């Protein structure tokens, strides 16, 4: 891999393009529907800025499609190139790119923003390619960017994407609910920050099921029912409390059975 074309100018395009440059790849073009955006990124990573597919260089080694999921197919269909075409989506099937001769997936599992450094060394990357030779090339390339590269098929990647929604989107929402409960009782969210950090630390250094605490695993029905009373004026949070408590209970009954 010596040359790459970047399609897209958002957080992932920016972060990945910077990482490519750091590994010695030359960016020959940056495409965005919005020419200004393409220019802004090209200033940082090099290459010609453009908003016209017909002008894309056709001889690059790599074409990185880092656009929103629903635009990937359309972009792919407009490419007529020999290089390896990759999308960066966690949930889009690899075959969405099948009009190309050589294609694959280059998915990094992390929250990206434009200002984050280009150091992707610890970000897990899931790769997939349409043939074994390109899988090897992609593996080698990805390993120059991250030390956590693994081959995964579309089914696996999609399961990971759903799992990440639970681990990131949903847990963050629980933090938001907790913050709201505190503020409605004139308490600062700062009070919860140490336990939020500790929860994440415990989950990654242990098996989460082994560090589960709280009234459900203690089978402390008095506290559970008193908690539901506190949530009386928040019917939606009460419903979440009940559903997650039921799920914890079943999870732990099953895990005990399996021991």
Judged by CB under 8 A, the chain residues 152 through 191 that form the site for a second copy are 152, 155-156, 158-179, 181-182, 184-187, 190-191
Q: Is 143 in the site for a second copy (CB under 8 A)?
A: no
Q: Is 258 in the site for a second copy (CB under 8 A)?
A: no
Q: Three-class SS string for 171-188? A: HHHHHHHHHHHHHCCCCC
9, 49 Cβ separation under 8 angstroms: no
Per CB under 8 A, contacts with a second copy among 26-45 are: none
Q: How near is the Cβ of 111 to a second copy at its closest, in Å? A: 6
Site string for a second copy, 57-96 (x = CB under 8 A): ------------xx--------------------x-----
d(C-alpha 14, C-alpha 8), whole Å:
8
Cα diameter, the chain = 69
Q: Is 251 in the site for a second copy (CB under 8 A)?
A: yes
Q: Provide the total of helices (H) and of strands (E) in the chain, helices listed first.
A: 9, 8
End-to-end CA distance of the chain: 49
Question: Applying CB under 8 A, which part among 29-37, 52-60, 77-85, 117-125 lies near a second copy?
Answer: 117-125
d(C-alpha 100, C-alpha 70), whole Å:
18
Phi, then psi, of 62 in degrees rounded to 5: -140, 135
Q: How near is the Cβ of 142 to a second copy at its closest, in Å? A: 14
Question: Applying CB under 8 A, which part among 2-10, 13-21, 42-50, 109-117 lies near a second copy?
Answer: 109-117
Beta-ladder partners of 151: 127
Q: Which of 52, 204, 257, 258 binds a second copy (CB under 8 A)?
A: 204
Q: How near is the Cβ of 148 to a second copy at its closest, in Å? A: 8
Q: Is 123 in the site for a second copy (CB under 8 A)?
A: yes
Task: State both tokens at 104.
Answer: 């694959």
């Amino acid at each position: 891999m010596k040359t790459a074309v970047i399609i897209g100018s958002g957080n992932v395009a920016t972060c990945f393009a910077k990482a490519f440059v750091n590994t010695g790849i030359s960016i020959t073009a940056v495409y965005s529907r919005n020419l200004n955006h393409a220019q802004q990124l090209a200033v940082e990573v090099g290459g010609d800025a453009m908003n016209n597919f017909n002008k894309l260089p056709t001889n690059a080694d790599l074409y990185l499609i880092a656009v929103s999921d629903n635009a990937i197919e359309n972009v792919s269909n407009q490419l007529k190139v020999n290089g390896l075409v990759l999308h960066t989506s966690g949930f889009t099937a690899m075959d969405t790119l099948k009009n190309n001769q050589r294609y694959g997936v280059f998915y990094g599992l992390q929250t990206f923003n434009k200002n984050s450094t280009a150091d992707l060394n610890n970000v897990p990357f899931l790769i997939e390619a349409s043939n074994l030779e390109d899988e090897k090339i992609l593996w080698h390339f990805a390993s120059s960017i991250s030390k956590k590269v693994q081959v995964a098929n579309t089914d696996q990647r999609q399961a990971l994407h759903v799992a990440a929604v639970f681990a990131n989107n949903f847990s963050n929402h629980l933090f938001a609910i907790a913050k709201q409960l505190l503020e409605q009782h004139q308490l600062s969210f700062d009070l919860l920050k140490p336990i939020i950090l500790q929860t994440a630390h415990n989950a990654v250094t242990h098996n989460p099921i082994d560090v589960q605490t709280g009234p459900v695993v203690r089978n402390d029905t008095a506290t559970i029912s008193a908690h539901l009373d506190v949530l009386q004026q928040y019917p939606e949070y009460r419903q979440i409390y009940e559903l997650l408590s039921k799920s914890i209970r079943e999870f732990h009954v099953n895990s005990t059975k399996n021991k």
